[in-house]
């Protein structure tokens, strides 16, 4: 599938998502995927491997941003640390088993003495692989965009420069594939197809309507049809096309899309006549709800975004499904989320078809923070969810691929440059052995399709939080549920002030099976008479109460505050409540409630 890291991250940026996730080192876990119709989807065993520990990575520079599969080979491409130690440069790796990786020769191809390349795109089809890049010239002392090259490989090992489809045109081509052919477009309207010799391009008849452009493609492995996404009317309206017969036929599916869709389509996938797409839909100003698309049930307002802060022109994530090849669309019922996540917070960023199964990767909200998640479905309507364990601060899932039933998902951090924390890998066909140390988390399956009448928003369940363990120590699930910033107001009578605003941040650190003793963090009592302190290694009472003894306590203005004129507790007791809050009790008789979220 076409892989566009910049597009994925731009979507996350528009959401204003700040991903603050607990570190995870490694380990295995498993979940049973059921699609709501039957139990035919096998058990999947997922493992996480840190980038530095990936077999065959060798030099420590394993840093792929995306993965694609073709011809029995997986290729991973990204910007890896340059051996000279001076910045990052385009590189690629290949694997035939999704476990052991080897480096190809991409780093050495097409480079001038004073320029390097940055990754922008990865594409796979029956003929091989294409990596698109930005060529940066540093000869003048500053990095200047000098070219936008593409590189071709038939096997992921040996690479060469790929000639552009139209040497007279300007701009970087967008690439599309139907699994059998590679297409490209420079102007967004006309298509070229790569010949079987992978060196010549041929102009084809497919052409986007006036005022519209083609940008990316849906996941459609081996179907012979390319479903291409795009935009019209200066990117305000999404477009969708189906290219078939080697480019001889282009069918415009855009008129059938719900009228309230706005901007570009985040991603799409096709399997037979079933199409899925994720994107954004305008909401009624000030309501947070969407008008019913084309007479169908209205969407609830979860996740609505206000682009300019004025209460108008808001959008919300939307997930749609067509079973007739794109002729008619309906809303996918709210994606199920894990028990400790906010109901209705599931957002899809990437779609993959593997065998007869759809796989969607995205995120859910836990304590108002974004956590990686994935969903599995046989029919595109009933979904099973699993939240992949948080692996790093500011982390997210990259575009993924499947080889012989084994799915590989890059775990990424940062935006510039992107760093690869590691790889999530599933065992093929559920043949792996579940971890003996981690019990199977509960599987969550989506509800039956919504049957609410038109213009009626489906009911939204009240947010809930998992109850803490009733015995010490807390389970790993309870510990992960505490990983967040928490803030609120406490009241007392024996300190310099009657009320304080407090901020507590907690994380279990890089531990695969954390206990409460692994929790560490910081405490801030805000204000001129407050303090800062560290939190670590709490004791746990039978009712789940965490008891911290703050260390390294400091007044807000060291050396300028008199002893006794500020408040810094000797002990802090925190206990999770059923309302998703933490009850606070500290020395000096201060009590209160703190809720997830950082202080502005």
Q: pLDDT, tens digit, for every residue of 508-548?
A: 876 667 788 989 999 999 988 899 999 999 999 988 899 99
Predicted confidence band of residue 502 (pLDDT cuts 50, 70, 90)? very high
Query: What is the model's pLDDT at position 366?
Result: 79
**Using the 8-state DSSP alphabet, how is residue 5 labeled?**
H
For the chain, the residue count is 600
The answer to whether residue 112 scores a pLDDT higher than 80 is no
Asked whether 388 and 424 are in contact (CB, 8 A), the reply is yes
Percent of the chain with pLDDT over 90: 21
pLDDT given at position 227: 84
* Residue 558 host element (H or E): none
For residue 340 the two structure tokens come to 């400790």
Which one is predicted more confidently, 565 or 69? Answer: 69
Percent of the chain predicted with pLDDT > 70: 70
Q: Are 190 and 174 in contact (CB under 8 A)?
A: no
Contact 408, 402 (CB under 8 A): yes
Instruction: Quickly state the pLDDT bin for 396 (edges 50, 70, 90).
Output: confident
Full DSSP string of 260-319: TEEEEEEEEEEETTEEEEEEEEE--TTT---PPGGGSPPPP-TT-EESSSSS-SEEEEEE
Residue 449 has pLDDT above 60, yes or no: no
pLDDT of residue 287: 42
Helix (H) or strand (E) holding 476: helix 476-480
Closest by CA to 230, choosing from 246, 247, 244, 217, is: 217
pLDDT value for 394: 61
How far apart CA 590 and CA 76 sit, in angstroms, is 54
What CA–CA distance (Å, rounded) separates 142 from 43?
Answer: 52
Confidence of residue 14 (pLDDT cuts 50, 70, 90): very low
The residue whose two tokens read 């899809």 is 348
Report CA-CA distances (Å) from 216 to 185, 253, 266, 278, 411: 10, 15, 9, 13, 22
Q: What is the structure's pLDDT at 139?
A: 62
Q: pTM higher than 0.75 for the full model?
A: no
Average pLDDT over residues 566-585: 90
Q: Which of 24-38, 201-215, 530-544 has the highest mean pLDDT?
A: 530-544
What pLDDT score was predicted for residue 325?
87
Least confident of 176-185, 361-370, 491-500, 538-547: 361-370
Closest Cα partner for 150 from 187, 191, 106, 180? 106
Task: Please determine, for residue 408, whether its predicted confidence score (pLDDT) is greater than 60.
Answer: yes
DSSP 455: T
Dihedral sign, CA of 56, 60, 61, 67? positive
Helix (H) or strand (E) holding 361: strand 357-366
Residue 235 has which token pair?
């990117």
Chain-centre distance for alpha carbon 161? 31
pLDDT tens per residue across span 35-51: 223 333 434 577 888 88
Model confidence at 339, in pLDDT bands (50, 70, 90)? confident
pLDDT digits (tens, 9 = 90+) for 268-306: 888 888 899 988 888 755 444 444 333 333 333 334 444
Q: Give whole-number Cα distances, 80 to 5, 77, 97, 417, in Å.
A: 15, 9, 22, 10
**Residue 370 pLDDT > 50, yes or no?**
yes
Structure tokens at 533: 């302190």
Per the CB < 8 A criterion, the answer to whether 119 and 90 are in contact is yes
Q: Is the pLDDT of residue 446 over 60?
A: no
Of 144-158, 206-220, 465-479, give the lowest mean pLDDT range.
465-479
- The larger pLDDT score, comparing residue 71 to residue 31, is at 71
- What tokens appear for 350 in the block? 């990437």
Least-confidence region, from 304-308, 382-386, 407-411, 412-416:
304-308
What's the whole-number average pLDDT of the chain? 75
Which region among 87-96, 277-286, 568-577 has the lowest average model confidence (pLDDT)?
Answer: 277-286
Residue 412 has pLDDT above 90, yes or no: no
């Amino acid at each position: 599938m076409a892989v566009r890291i910049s597009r994925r991250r731009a979507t996350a940026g528009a959401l204003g998502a700040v991903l603050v996730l607990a570190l995870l080192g490694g380990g295995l876990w498993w979940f049973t995927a059921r699609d709501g119709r039957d139990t035919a989807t096998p058990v999947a065993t997922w493992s996480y491997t840190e980038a530095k520990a990936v077999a065959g990575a060798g030099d420590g520079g394993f840093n792929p941003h995306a993965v694609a599969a073709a011809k029995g080979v997986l290729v991973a491409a990204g910007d890896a640390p340059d051996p000279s130690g001076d910045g990052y440069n385009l590189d690629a790796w290949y694997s035939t088993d999704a476990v052991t990786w080897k480096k190809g020769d991409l780093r050495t191809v097409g480079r001038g003495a004073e320029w390097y390349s940055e990754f922008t795109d990865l594409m796979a089809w029956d003929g091989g692989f294409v990596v698109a890049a930005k060529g940066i010239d540093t000869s003048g002392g500053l990095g200047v965009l000098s070219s936008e090259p593409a590189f071709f490989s038939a096997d992921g090992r040996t690479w060469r420069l790929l000639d552009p489809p139209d040497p007279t045109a300007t701009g970087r081509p967008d690439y599309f594939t139907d699994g059998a052919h590679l297409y490209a477009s420079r102007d967004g309207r006309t298509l070229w197809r790569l010949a079987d010799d992978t060196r010549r391009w041929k102009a084809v008849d497919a052409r986007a309507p006036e005022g519209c452009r083609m940008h990316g493609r849906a996941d459609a492995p081996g179907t012979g049809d390319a479903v291409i996404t795009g935009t019209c009317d200066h990117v305000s309206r999404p477009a969708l096309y189906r290219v078939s017969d080697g480019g001889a036929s282009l069918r415009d599916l855009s008129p059938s899309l719900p009228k309230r869709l706005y901007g570009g389509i985040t991603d799409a996938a096709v399997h037979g006549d079933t199409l899925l797409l994720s994107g954004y839909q305008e909401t009624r100003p000030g309501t947070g709800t969407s008008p019913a698309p084309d007479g169908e049930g209205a969407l609830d307002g979860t996740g609505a975004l206000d682009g300019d802060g004025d209460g108008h022109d808001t959008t919300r994530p939307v997930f749609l499904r067509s079973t007739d090849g794109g002729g008619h669309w309906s809303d996918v019922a709210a994606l199920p989320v894990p028990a400790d996540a906010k109901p209705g917070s599931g957002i899809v960023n990437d779609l993959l078809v593997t065998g007869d199964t759809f796989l969607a990767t995205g995120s859910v909200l836990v304590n108002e923070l974004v956590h990686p998640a994935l969903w599995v479905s046989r029919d595109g309507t009933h979904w099973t969810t699993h939240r992949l364990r948080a692996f790093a601060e500011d982390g997210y899932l990259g575009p993924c691929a499947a080889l012989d039933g084994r799915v590989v998902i890059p775990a990424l951090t940062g935006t510039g440059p992107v760093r690869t924390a590691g790889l999530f890998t599933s065992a093929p066909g559920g043949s792996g052995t579940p971890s003996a140390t981690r019990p199977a988390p509960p599987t969550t399956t989506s509800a039956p399709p919504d049957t609410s009448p038109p213009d009626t928003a489906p009911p939204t369940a009240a947010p809930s939080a998992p109850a803490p363990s009733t015995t010490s120590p807390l389970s790993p699930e309870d510990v992960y549920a505490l990983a967040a910033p928490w803030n609120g107001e406490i009241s007392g009578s024996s300190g310099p002030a009657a009320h304080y605003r407090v901020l507590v941040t907690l994380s279990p650190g890089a531990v695969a099976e954390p206990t409460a003793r692994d929790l560490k963090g910081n405490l801030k009592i805000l204000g001129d008479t407050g303090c800062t302190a560290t939190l670590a290694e709490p004791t746990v009472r039978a009712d789940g109460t965490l008891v911290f003894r703050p260390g390294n306590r400091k007044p807000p203005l060291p050396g300028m505050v008199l002893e006794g004129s500020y408040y810094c507790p000797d002990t802090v007791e925190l206990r999770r409540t059923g309302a998703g809050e933490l009850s606070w009790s500290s020395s000096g008789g201060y009590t209160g409630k703190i809720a997830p979220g950082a202080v502005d």
